C-alpha cells in the first residue's frame, strides 16, 4: 500500500518529511501528500477532513502553496463537533487572512458560533475573529462581541475584550458602543480580564476622543487604586515573576494612566503618588522589575509636569545607562531620546556615556546612541562631539559607516561655526569614508568651497594632500578633481597660504598627475572620469606647459566604449587643438555657486521660484535640449563645431547645482561641466546625440549674445513663440535657471531659417522604413502639438496595406487623421504622410512619449515594426 | 501590538509563525528569512532587540530555537522579552521539558496554546496555571 495515501497519519507525514535528505526529496513527498489530499477533498471525504487540514497546515508552514485547502476550512467550521471546528478555525487563521474573498463566507458561521451554547466553541470563534477580522466582519459581528463582554465565563470576556480591540481598529466609528462595557471590565478582579480590559480602554482612547474624556473623568481614580492594589499585593504564585506579582498588568496599567494623564493636570496629579511609589519601590535587579520601571519612567515623562517625579525618572535612566546589561542600556538610550524634550540639561550630563555607546559592538545600541548624540549636538559642543565621531569613523564597522557619516555630515553642516572648520571636517569624513557619503553631501561641500574665496588655496592644497593618502574614496577624489580643475594654479603657487598651513611644493605636472591617476584608476566610475576630463581641460589652459601632456591623456579616451567619455574626449580635444584663442575664456573659473539657491533646491523645492543668482541675461545655451524627464546635463554639444555650450535640464541635485550657475557661466562664455551620474543618463545622452536638433543649433547667435553683453532676450526666446513659459521668463530677464530646472523646455533649440519652432525628428528608422515627425503648434493652444508624420520607404519594394498605429500614456491625448494613402512606393516615388494631434495635459512638466506600430505588406508578406519614441523636442 | 510571532531554529526552519497583520505569503517568507538572518548571528551579549524595517524584533534564544516577536517601535521591549519567557515556560510545562521535536509534531497544539496566551496581537492571559488548565479542558473535548 502506498505509504503516502491520505490514510497516513499526520505524525507519519511529518516523519516522512523529516526523513528527507534533500529539498528535492521533500518536494516529492509534499507533492504526493498534496495529491492525496486533493483526491480526498474531491471525494468529499468527511472522516479525513480534519486530518487533511492539519497536514495542509504543516505543509503550509514549510512554505508550499495550499490555497486548495481553503474551502475545507470553511466546511470544517460549519461542522458540528468541537474537534472539527477547532482544526477548521486553526486552518482559517493560518491559511487565510482578512483580505481573502473566501472569508466573506465564514461570517455567518462565526455569527452562529458566537451565539453557540457551548462556551468553548464561542471561545474558538472569538479567537478566530480577533485574529483575522476584516472591516466588514467587524461591522457585522460587533453586537455579538459587545454582548460577550458581559459573558459569565471570564475566558470569554477576555477574548471578547481583545476582539473588540481589533474591531475598533478596523472600524473606529464603532468605538462608542464599547466605552461603557470596557469601563465595566476595569473593575474586574480576574487578571486576564483586567489586563485585556485595560488594553481595550487604551486602544479606545487612541481612536476616540470621547472615550478618552470618559475614562479620564470616570476611571482615573479607580485605575490608580487598582495599580496600588497590584503593587502592594502579597505574593501570588500564579502571577509571580521574579518576585513581582504580574508585571504585565503593572505595565498595562501604567500605560493606560499615561494616556489619561497626558495633557490633563488633574489626572496627572491623581497618579503622582503611585508613580512615585512604583519608581522608588520596584526591584531593579531583574528584567521584570526593570520593565516596570521603564514603563513608569515613560509615564512620568509624558504626563503633566511634576518636577520631583521627573528628577526621579531621569535618575532611573542614569542608573539604566550605567547598567551592565545591554538590554537595559538600550532602553535607557531609547527613553533619553524622549527625555531630551523634557530636560535637555539632564540628558547632556550623560553625554560622555552616550558617546561611549556609539562605539558599542552591538549595532542596536550604536544606532540608538547615534540618534541620541545627533539630537544632543548644539553650537557649544559640536566641535568635541564631531571630533569623537570622526575618530570613531576610522575604526567603526563597515555597515555602520553609512549611518555614521550621514549623521556627522548633517551635524557639521548644521552647526559649523566657521567655513574652514566645516571644510576640514568634511575632508576628514571624505578621506575616512568618502565611499559612504551621499552625492548631495559632496555637492554641498563644493558649493561651500566655491563660496569661500579666501580658502580656495587652502582647500585645494588640503585636498591634494588628502588625495595622496585616500585615493580610494570616490567622493573625495571627485571633490579633489573639481577643486584642482578650478583652483589648480593656487595649488602650484601656494596662493592664499594660511598661517596654519605647511607650504607644499607641487609642480604643475604633479597636479595633472592627480587627475590622471583618478581617471585611470580602475574603480573610478563614469562620473569621476568625466569630471577628470573636464578638470584636465581647465588645467590645459591654466598650465600651458602641460598642455601637450593633457592632450595626450584626453586623446586616449577617443576610443572609449563609454559614449560619454568618447564624446567628451573628442570635444575637449578639439577645443585644445583647434580653439586656442577662446580656450582661456572658455575655461575660466566657475562663478561662485549660490548657496541660498542651492539650499533652497536641497529643500526639495524644485518648482519653487528661486530667483536667479545674478541678474543674468538669458543666455540659454544652444545645442540639445533635453526633456526634463531625463535627468542629465549634457556637456558639450557635439554637433556644434565652433563653441561648446552647456545645456541642462532639471534633475538631481548635481544638475541643480550646475543649473544654478548656468546663466552666469554662459555670460562669461564659460563652460561649465557636469558629469553624468550613471548609466541610464548616458543612455539618454546617446539618444540625444542621434537627434538632428544638434546640427541645427545656431552657434554664432549664442556667442554673440553672450559676448555682446547680455541682451535679455536671447535668440531662443524668439525662437519659440508657442512656448509661453520660456518667453515670459526670458523677456523678464529673470530666472532662466528655473526654466532649466523645471524642464520647461528651457533650451528649445532654434531651428535655422525654416520658421518652425521645433526641429523635425527622425522618430523611427529601421532598415526598411524611416518615419520623420514635423511639429507645429497652433497659436494659443500650447498643449496641443500637430505632428506631421512622413513615412519613407528605404527598400526597393513597394509596401501595401500600410497602417500606422500609435499609443500614448494617459496624460496625453492622441488623435490620428487618416493617412494620405496605404501604399508606400519606393523612396524616389513618394511617401505617405499622416497627421497626428497630441494634447499634453501635463504640458511643461512631462514631455511627449509614444509607442508606435507600423504594419504593411512587402512582397505580400506581413511585416510588423514597433518602437517607442522618447526623443521628442522638449516643450511639446 | 505584536505584529507577528516567529519560532525558528538555527537553520532558519520556521516552527511556528503567527501573523496578526495581513501579509502575502511571499512577504511572509521574506520576513521569516530576514528575521532569521537578523537574529541568528548576534552575539549572546548583545541586546535582544533589533530594529526591523519600521518595527522592532524582540527575540530570545532557547537552545537552538529563536523566539521572535515583532512589535511596534514604541512598545516596551523589556516587557515583551518577559512575555517570550513566559510563553516558553508555558510550553515547557505543557510538554514537560519541551524540545524542538515536540513543537514539530504537535505544532497544532502550540498554536492553540498561543491562542490562549496572545490574541489579536495583545496579551490575553498572564497566568501560566490558567493557560495550562484551559488547555487541559480543551484536550478533554477532543
Query: What are the beta bridge partners of residue A240?
Result: A245
- Residue B136: predicted pLDDT: 94
Among B residues 6-25, those touching chain A with beta carbons less than 8 Å apart:
14-20, 22-23, 25
Please give the model's pTM, rounded to 2 decimal places: 0.69
A755: Cβ contacts below 8 Å, ≥ 6 apart: none
When mean pLDDT is compared across A54-63, A471-480, A811-820, the lowest value belongs to A811-820
Q: Give the model's confidence band at A528: pLDDT under 50 very low, under 70 low, under 90 confident, else very high.
A: very high
Distance from C-alpha of B13 to C-alpha of B32, rounded to nearest angstrom: 9
Q: Average pLDDT over chain B, rounded to whole?
A: 94
A698 vs B92 pLDDT, higher one? B92
Across chain A, what does the average pLDDT equal?
80
CA-CA distance, A819 to A830, in Å (whole number)? Answer: 14
Question: Measured between alpha carbons, how far apart are the two ends of chain A, in Å?
Answer: 75
The string of pLDDT tens digits covering residues A304-344 is: 977 789 989 999 999 999 998 999 999 999 999 988 888 88
Higher-confidence residue of B34 and A594: namely B34
Higher-scoring residue by pLDDT: A444, A738: A444
Per-residue pLDDT tens digits for A257-290: 999 999 999 999 999 999 999 999 998 889 999 9
Task: Kindly identify which residue of chain A lies nearest to residue B26, measuring between CA atoms.
Answer: A63
pLDDT over threshold 60, residue B122: yes
Binning pLDDT at 50, 70 and 90, where does residue B95 land?
A: very high
For residue A237, is pLDDT > 80?
Answer: yes
Nearest to A249 among B14, B19, B126 (CB): B126
Interatomic CA distance for residues A666 and A597, integer angstroms:
18
Over 50: is that where the pLDDT of A31 sits?
Answer: yes
Structure-model confidence comparison of residues A623 and A498, the more confident one: A498
Give the whole-angstrom CA distance, residue A300 versus residue A257: 10
| Residue in the structure block whose three cell numbers are 520660456 | A726
Identify whether the C-beta of residue A330 lies closer than 8 Å to the C-beta of residue A368: yes
Q: Which of A10-19, A378-387, A607-616, A781-790 has the lowest mean pLDDT?
A: A607-616
pLDDT of residue A783: 80
pLDDT tier at A689, thresholds 50, 70, 90: very low
- Report whether A730 contacts A710 (CB < 8 A): no
In the predicted model, is pLDDT for residue B59 greater than 90? Answer: yes
- Lowest-confidence region among A501-515, A737-751, B13-27: A737-751
Confidence of residue A150 (pLDDT cuts 50, 70, 90): very high
What are the domain boundaries of chain A? 609-714+723-746, 761-869
Put simply, the answer to whether A158 touches B122 (Cβ < 8 Å) is no
Using CA atoms, how far apart are residues A6 and A263, in angstroms rounded to an integer?
A: 63
Contact between B40 and B10 (Cβ < 8 Å): yes
A554 close to A573: Cβ distance less than 8 angstroms: yes
* B100 near A CB under 8 A: no
SS3 labels along A294-330: HHHHHHHHHCCCCHHHHHHHHHHHHHHHCCCCHHHHH
Interatomic CA distance for residues A91 and A60, integer angstroms: 10
- Residues 60-89 of chain B whose Cβ lies under 8 A from any Cβ of chain A: 76-79, 81-83, 86
Q: What is the pLDDT of residue A398?
A: 86
pLDDT value of position B56: 95
Question: How many of the other CB atoms lie within 10 Å of CB of A441?
Answer: 23
Most distant pair of Cα atoms in chain B: their distance: 45
What whole-number distance in Å separates Cα of residue A518 and Cα of residue A472? 9
Residue to test with chain A: of B25, B45, B82, most A Cβ within 10 A: B82
Cell numbers that stand for A841 in this block: 495635459
The answer on pLDDT for A303 being more than 80 is yes
SS3 assignment, position A422 = helix
Q: How far apart are CA A619 and CA A609, in angstroms?
A: 19
Residues 6 or more apart in contact with residue A28 via CB below 8 angstroms: none
Q: Is the pLDDT of residue A463 over 70?
A: yes
Nearest to A131 among B83, B86, B119 (CB): B119
- A50 touching B (Cβ < 8 Å): no
ipTM, interface predicted TM-score of the complex: 0.97
Looking at residues A89-115, what average pLDDT do you find? 87
Mean pLDDT of A191-215: 95
For the record, the C-alpha cell of A683 comes out as 543612455
Q: Residue A144's pLDDT is what?
A: 94
In angstroms, rounded to a whole number, what is the distance separating the alpha carbons of residues A6 and A104? Answer: 29
Chain B touched by A196 (CB under 8 Å): yes
Chain B neighbours among A 267-296 (CB < 8 Å)? 287-288, 290-291, 294-295
Gap between the Cα atoms of A873 and A749, Å rounded: 8
Structure confidence at residue A57 (pLDDT): 92
Closest CA to A546 of A570, A510, A520, A588: A510
The continuous run of DSSP H or E covering A684 comes out as helix A679-690
Question: Residue B105 is nearest to which of A14, A57, A241, comparing CB atoms?
Answer: A14
Contacts of A288 in chain B (CB under 8 A): 78, 82
Nearest Cα neighbor of A75 from A66, A62, A65, A85 is: A85
Q: Say which CATH architecture domain A761-869 belongs to.
A: Sandwich (2.60)
Of B50, B120, B137, the CB nearest to A364: B50
Phi, psi of A458 (to 5 degrees): -60, -45
Domains defined along chain B, listed by start: 2-141 (3.30.450.60)
Local confidence band at A808 (pLDDT 50, 70, 90 cut-offs): confident
Tally Cβ neighbours within 10 Å of residue A166.
26
Residue recorded with cell 528651457: A746
Pairwise CB contact (< 8 Å): B142 & A82: yes
* Residue A3: pLDDT over 80: no
Q: Does residue A427 register a pLDDT over 80?
A: yes
> Which parts of A519-646 are beta strand (E)?
633-634
Q: Are A260 and A300 in contact (CB under 8 A)?
A: no
Would you tell me how many other CB atoms lie within 10 Å of the CB of residue B32? 19
Q: Where are the alpha helices (DSSP H) in B1-142?
A: 25-40, 77-94, 100-105, 107-117, 128-141
Residues in chain A: 876
Nearby residues of A437 by Cβ (< 8 Å), 6 or more positions away: A405, A409, A429, A430, A475
User: Who has greater pLDDT, A693 or A363?
Assistant: A363
For residue A619, pLDDT beyond 50: no
Question: How much is the average pLDDT of A112-133?
Answer: 94
Put simply, whether A247 touches B (Cβ < 8 Å) is yes
Segment A673-697 mean pLDDT: 38
Residue A634, classed as helix, strand or coil, is strand
| Reported confidence tier of residue B38, pLDDT bands at 50, 70, 90 | very high
Which of A653, A655, A672 lies closest to A600 in space, CA to CA? A653
> What pLDDT, on a 0 to 100 scale, did the predictor assign at position A601?
66
Range from A64-73, A626-635, A657-666, A721-730 that averages highest in pLDDT: A64-73
A209-218, A240-249, A490-499, A596-605: least confidently modelled range: A596-605
Q: Any CB–CB contact under 8 A between B97 and chain A?
A: no
Dihedral, A665, A669, A670, A675 alpha carbons, nearest 10: 80
User: Which of B19, B47, B83 is opposite residue A365, by nearest beta carbon?
Assistant: B47
Q: How far apart are the first and last CA of chain B?
A: 32
Neighbours of A380 (CB within 10 A): 11
Q: Per the CB < 8 Å rule, is B82 touching A295? A: no
> What angle do the packed helices A419-433 and A439-451 form, to 10 degrees?
150
Q: Band the pLDDT of A838: cuts 50, 70, 90.
A: confident
CA-CA distances (angstroms) from residue A184 to A178, A201, A430, A821, B104? 10, 10, 63, 84, 41
Residues with Cβ within 8 Å of A735's Cβ and at least 6 positions away in sequence, in order, are A609, A610, A611, A612, A729
pLDDT at A600: 67
Decide if A291 and B107 are in contact by the 8 Å CB cutoff: no
Mean pLDDT on B56-84: 95
**Between B78, B120, B141, which is nearest A130 by CB?**
B120
Helix (H) / strand (E) containing B58 = strand B55-62
Report the pLDDT value the prediction gives residue A744, as an integer from 0 to 100: 39
- The burial of A677, by beta-carbon neighbours within 10 Å (0-12 exposed, 13-18 middle, 19 or more buried), is given as buried
Listed range (A213-217, B79-83, B138-142) with the worst mean pLDDT? B138-142
Rounded to 5°, the CA angle A623-A624-A626 comes to 145
- Which of the pair, A210 or A753, is modelled with greater confidence? A210
Query: Which whole number is the average pLDDT over B51-62?
Result: 94
How far, in Å, CA of A497 to CA of A490, rounded? 9
Q: Do residues A274 and A231 lie in contact, with contact meaning Cβ atoms separated by under 8 Å?
A: yes
C-alpha grid cell, residue A282? 520596584
* Mean pLDDT score, A221-247: 91
Average pLDDT over residues A102-118: 90
Q: Residue A7: which pLDDT band, with cuts at 50, 70 and 90?
A: low
* pLDDT number for residue B27: 92
Amino acid at each position: 500500500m502506498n505509504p503516502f495515501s491520505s490514510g497516513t497519519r499526520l505524525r507519519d507525514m511529518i516523519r516522512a518529511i523529516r526523513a528527507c535528505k534533500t529539498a528535492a526529496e521533500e518536494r516529492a513527498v509534499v507533492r504526493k501528500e498534496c495529491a492525496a489530499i486533493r483526491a480526498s477533498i474531491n471525494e468529499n471525504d468527511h472522516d479525513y477532513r480534519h486530518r487533511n487540514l492539519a497536514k495542509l497546515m504543516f505543509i503550509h508552514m514549510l512554505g508550499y502553496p495550499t490555497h486548495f485547502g481553503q474551502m475545507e476550512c470553511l466546511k470544517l467550521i460549519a461542522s458540528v463537533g468541537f474537534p472539527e471546528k477547532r482544526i477548521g478555525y486553526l486552518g482559517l487563521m493560518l491559511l487565510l487572512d482578512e483580505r481573502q474573498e473566501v472569508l466573506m463566507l465564514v461570517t455567518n458561521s462565526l455569527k452562529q458560533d458566537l451565539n453557540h451554547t457551548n462556551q468553548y466553541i464561542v471561545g474558538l470563534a472569538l479567537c478566530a475573529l480577533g485574529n483575522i477580522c476584516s472591516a466588514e466582519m467587524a461591522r457585522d459581528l460587533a453586537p455579538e462581541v459587545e454582548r460577550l463582554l458581559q459573558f459569565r465565563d471570564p475566558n470569554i470576556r477576555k477574548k471578547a475584550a481583545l476582539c473588540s480591540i481589533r474591531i475598533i481598529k478596523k472600524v473606529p466609528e464603532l468605538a462608542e458602543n464599547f466605552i461603557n462595557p470596557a469601563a465595566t471590565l476595569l473593575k474586574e478582579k480576574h487578571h486576564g480580564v483586567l489586563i485585556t480590559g485595560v488594553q481595550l480602554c487604551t486602544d479606545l482612547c487612541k481612536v476616540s476622543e470621547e472615550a478618552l474624556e470618559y475614562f479620564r473623568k470616570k476611571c482615573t481614580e479607580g485605575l490608580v487604586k487598582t495599580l496600588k492594589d497590584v503593587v502592594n499585593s502579597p505574593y501570588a504564585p500564579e502571577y509571580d515573576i521574579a518576585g513581582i506579582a504580574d508585571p504585565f498588568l503593572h505595565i498595562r496599567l501604567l500605560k493606560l494612566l499615561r494616556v489619561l494623564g497626558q495633557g490633563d493636570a488633574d489626572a496627572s496629579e491623581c497618579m503622582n503618588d503611585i508613580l512615585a511609589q512604583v519608581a522608588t519601590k520596584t526591584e531593579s535587579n531583574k528584567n521584570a522589575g526593570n520593565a516596570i520601571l521603564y514603563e513608569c519612567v515613560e509615564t512620568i515623562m509624558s504626563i503633566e509636569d511634576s518636577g520631583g517625579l521627573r528628577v526621579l525618572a531621569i535618575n532611573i535612566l542614569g542608573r539604566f545607562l550605567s547598567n551592565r546589561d545591554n538590554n537595559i542600556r538600550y532602553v535607557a538610550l531609547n527613553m533619553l531620546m524622549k527625555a531630551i524634550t523634557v530636560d535637555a540639561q539632564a540628558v547632556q550630563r550623560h553625554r560622555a556615556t552616550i558617546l561611549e555607546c556609539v562605539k558599542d559592538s552591538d549595532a542596536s545600541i550604536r544606532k540608538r546612541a547615534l540618534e541620541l548624540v545627533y539630537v544632543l549636538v548644539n553650537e557649544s559642543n559640536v566641535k568635541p562631539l564631531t571630533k569623537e565621531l570622526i575618530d570613531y569613523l576610522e575604526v567603526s564597522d563597515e555597515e555602520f559607516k553609512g549611518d555614521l557619516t550621514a549623521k556627522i555630515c548633517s551635524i557639521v553642516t548644521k552647526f559649523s561655526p566657521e567655513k574652514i572648520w566645516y571644510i576640514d571636517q568634511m575632508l576628514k569624513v571624505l578621506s575616512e569614508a568618502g565611499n559612504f557619503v551621499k552625492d548631495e553631501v559632496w555637492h554641498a561641500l563644493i558649493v561651500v568651497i566655491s563660496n569661500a574665496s579666501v580658502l580656495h588655496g587652502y582647500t585645494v592644497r588640503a585636498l591634494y594632500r588628502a588625495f595622496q593618502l585616500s585615493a580610494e574614496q570616490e567622493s573625495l577624489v571627485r571633490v579633489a578633481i573639481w577643486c584642482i580643475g578650478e583652483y589648480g594654479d593656487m595649488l602650484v603657487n601656494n596662493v592664499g597660504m594660511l598661517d596654519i598651513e605647511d607650504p607644499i611644493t607641487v609642480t604643475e605636472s604633479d597636479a595633472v598627475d592627480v587627475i590622471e591617476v583618478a581617471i585611470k584608476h580602475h574603480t573610478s566610475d563614469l562620473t569621476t572620469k568625466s569630471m577628470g576630463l573636464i578638470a584636465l581641460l581647465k588645467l590645459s589652459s591654466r598650465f600651458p606647459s602641460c598642455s601637450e601632456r593633457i592632450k595626450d591623456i584626453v586623446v586616449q579616451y577617443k576610443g572609449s566604449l563609454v559614449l560619454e567619455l568618447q564624446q567628451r574626449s573628442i570635444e575637449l580635444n578639439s577645443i585644445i587643438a583647434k580653439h586656442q584663442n577662446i580656450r582661456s575664456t572658455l575655461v575660466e573659473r566657475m562663478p561662485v555657486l549660490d548657496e541660498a539657491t542651492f539650499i533652497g533646491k536641497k529643500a526639495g523645492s524644485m518648482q519653487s521660484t528661486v530667483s536667479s543668482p545674478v541678474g543674468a541675461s538669458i543666455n540659454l545655451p544652444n545645442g540639445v535640449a533635453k526633456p526634463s524627464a531625463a535627468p542629465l546635463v549634457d556637456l558639450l554639444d557635439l554637433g556644434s563645431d565652433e563653441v561648446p555650450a552647456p545645456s541642462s535640464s532639471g534633475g538631481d541635485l548635481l544638475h541643480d547645482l550646475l543649473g544654478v550657475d548656468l546663466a552666469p557661466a554662459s555670460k562669461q562664455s564659460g563652460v561649465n561641466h557636469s558629469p553624468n551620474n550613471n548609466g541610464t543618463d548616458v543612455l539618454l545622452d546617446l539618444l540625444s546625440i542621434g537627434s538632428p536638433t544638434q546640427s541645427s543649433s545656431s552657434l554664432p547667435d549664442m556667442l554673440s549674445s553672450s559676448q555682446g553683453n547680455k541682451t535679455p532676450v536671447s535668440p531662443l526666446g524668439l525662437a519659440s513663440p508657442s512656448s509661453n513659459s520660456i518667453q515670459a521668463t526670458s523677456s523678464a530677464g529673470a530666472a532662466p535657471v528655473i526654466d532649466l530646472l523645471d524642464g520647461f523646455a528651457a533650451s528649445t533649440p532654434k531651428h535655422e531659417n525654416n520658421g518652425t519652432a521645433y526641429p523635425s525628428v527622425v522618430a523611427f528608422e529601421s532598415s526598411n522604413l524611416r518615419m520623420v515627425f514635423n511639429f507645429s503648434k497652433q497659436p494659443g493652444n500650447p498643449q496641443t502639438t500637430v505632428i506631421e508624420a512622413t513615412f519613407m520607404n528605404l527598400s526597393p519594394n513597394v509596401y501595401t496595406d500600410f497602417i500606422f498605429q500609435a499609443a500614448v500614456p494617459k496624460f496625453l491625448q492622441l488623435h490620428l487623421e487618416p493617412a494620405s494613402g496605404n501604399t508606400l512606393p519606393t523612396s524616389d516615388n513618394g511617401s505617405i504622410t499622416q497627421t497626428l494631434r497630441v494634447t499634453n495635459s501635463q504640458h511643461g512638466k512631462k514631455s511627449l512619449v509614444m509607442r508606435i506600430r507600423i504594419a504593411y505588406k512587402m512582397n505580400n508578406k506581413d511585416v510588423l515594426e514597433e518602437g517607442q519614441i522618447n526623443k521628442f523636442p522638449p516643450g511639446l | 501590538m505584536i505584529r507577528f510571532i516567529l519560532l525558528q531554529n538555527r537553520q532558519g526552519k520556521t516552527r511556528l509563525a503567527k501573523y496578526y497583520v495581513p501579509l502575502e505569503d511571499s512577504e511572509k517568507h521574506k520576513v521569516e528569512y530576514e528575521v532569521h538572518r537578523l537574529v541568528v548571528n548576534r552575539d549572546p551579549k548583545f541586546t535582544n532587540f533589533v530594529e526591523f524595517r519600521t518595527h522592532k524584533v524582540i527575540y530570545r534564544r532557547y537552545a537552538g530555537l529563536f523566539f521572535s516577536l515583532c512589535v511596534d517601535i514604541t512598545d516596551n521591549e523589556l516587557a515583551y522579552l518577559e512575555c517570550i519567557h513566559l510563553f516558553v515556560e508555558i510550553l515547557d510545562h505543557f510538554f514537560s521539558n519541551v524540545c524542538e521535536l515536540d513543537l514539530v509534531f504537535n505544532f497544532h497544539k502550540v498554536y492553540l496554546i498561543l491562542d490562549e496566551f496572545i490574541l489579536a496581537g495583545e496579551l490575553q492571559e498572564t497566568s501560566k496555571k490558567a493557560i495550562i488548565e484551559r488547555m487541559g479542558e480543551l484536550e478533554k473535548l477532543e
